[in-house]
Structure 1
């Protein structure tokens, strides 16, 4: 391995530590794992990875600089992201217990919905900006280096996301009554809605 790529180790540790700590994605994955199970939550997890890959790559190619020059774009994105997050919070909070899912036609978040949300997720922006600023090698093509770095760390982040979905699935096995399910979903919805404060502050 080229010596400049020895930085992949520290970059992976950084990404894993950030991915394991609570945030909008992890709260929603926990709720999805509990309500829909691990398998049906896989597209949601893949969407987070795919969305972060696109976002971090775009940051490496200058998206962060564009936001600095035109702050109105970032402001608009924050409000759109807040509105979408509140919509997702309402969906989580109002979700019926699993035994009523077929009647309500409730479905987990899709790949593209999860991917699109990353562009309005403040934690994803913080992760991406720090990753590109601190770990991308200076030698060689910026595009190639960014794709290698971002692709590698996102693959390493997937197991961390799976832990949150698995945690939710374990909670789902533990909850027995409809009342407990509704309380859990309302709690997850409120926690998701609370993340709007991170976006608008």
Structure 2
């Protein structure tokens, strides 16, 4: 990739990946609740999901999804339902009589699912390949290069969200603070789900 093209790619990818959205909100909330280390598997799954989407769209399979407008609607509703499921976990940990520390950590599969059902990421990846694939060059090396570059941008841009969540809220560890966090985080997840459906 020429240096000029790298600069253009970074100018596209960095603002898109680091900007607020459902994925970064979930990463920040997980960082706040479980810390960077406790979010590790979810984060790994999140980045694996990004790689899978890049390969899917880069190799042309994404065109099948784009051909059917109802697939977009289905993904929106499935993504919102998944975020509401995550919200329920936070609300459950805040219920009277529940041990707030027992909220389940989101693991590898949760990270992959969070990406695959995130319409913002689908749109971002589809636009990336439409802009940066050069039709006169071999497809596979370009897809691998763009996927690798997108993965690096993702790792660098997602870490501040996770660490920021840990830094800002991670020090509040009493049962009462965790219950309040459970309610607030659950409410934020509901807001994210509504945002996904109506924006």
TM-score strictly above 0.5: yes
Q: Are 2:124 and 1:127 equivalent residues in the alignment?
A: yes
Contact 2:31 2:166 in 1 (8 A): yes
**1:64 maps to what in 2?**
62
Structure 2 unaligned residues grouped into runs of 5+: none
| Alpha carbons 2:31, 2:163 under 8 Å: kept | yes
**In the alignment, which of 129, 145, 152 is matched to residue 142 of structure 2?**
145
Distance 1:93 1:162, change over 3 A: farther
TM-superposed CA distance for 1:140, in Å, is: 1.8
SS in 1 for 2:93: coil
Correspondence list, 1:96-107, <5 A: 96=94, 100-101=100-101, 104=102, 106-107=103-104
**Residue 29 of structure 1, CA deviation:** 1.5
Q: Distance in 1 between matches of 2:154 and 2:69?
A: 30
Counterpart pick for 1:165 among 162, 165, 181:
162
Task: Give ranges in structure 1 of 5+ residues lacking alignment.
Answer: none
TM-score (norm 2): 0.84
Deviation at 1:100, TM superposition (A): 4.4
Match of residue 22 from structure 2: 24
Task: Please state if 1:37 is matched with 2:63.
Answer: no
* CA positional deviation for 1:129: 1.7
- C-alpha change, 1:53 and 1:187, in structure 2 (3 Å) is same
TM alignment of 1:38-117, pairs within 5 A: 38-96=36-94, 100-101=100-101, 104=102, 106-117=103-114
Change (3 A) 1:40 1:143: same
Taking structure 1 as the reference length, what is the TM-score of the superposition?
Answer: 0.84
Give how far 1:177 is off. 4.5
Aligned residues: 195
